Amino acid sequence: MLVRKAAVEDVGLWDEAYFLHCEDLDWCMRFRQHGWKILFVPDARVMHHHGHCSRSRPFFVEWHKHKGMIRFYHKFFKHQYPSVLMWLVNVGVWLRFAMVSVYHSFKLLAKRFGLTRE
């Protein structure tokens, strides 16, 4: 991310209450709320060479990713939408976490029993 110094001074630094994910979404939302433009360049290529944490601790990473999503939705949308909708968002996020966890469980089992090409 490239951010103007004036924008950071206006909005502040990242919200440290996020652990692993969604802090960038939070920051962009705050920039928009303060009238700053967000530019997205879809052709920009980024390579993440390591990714060790997500490979070695997929449940840990997914837990914090989904927890970050809940924090983001509550922080920015709790007062805009009815409680029932926020409840549905919570259910949807945690159902997604459950499905991703099942996927990772099957991957780990397949690896343990030699059913993968890795």
pLDDT in tens, 27-38: 999 999 999 999
pLDDT of residue 46: 80
Q: Which residues of 70-93 are buried (b: 16+ CB within 10 A; e: fewer)?
A: bbbbebeeeeeeeeeebeebeeeb
**Domain assignments of the chain as residue spans, ordered by start:** 5-112
Looking at every residue in the chain, the average pLDDT score rounds to 91
Average pLDDT for 88-96: 97
Calpha distance 106→32 (Å, rounded): 40
- Position 97 pLDDT exceeds 60: yes
Calpha distance 54→50 (Å, rounded): 9
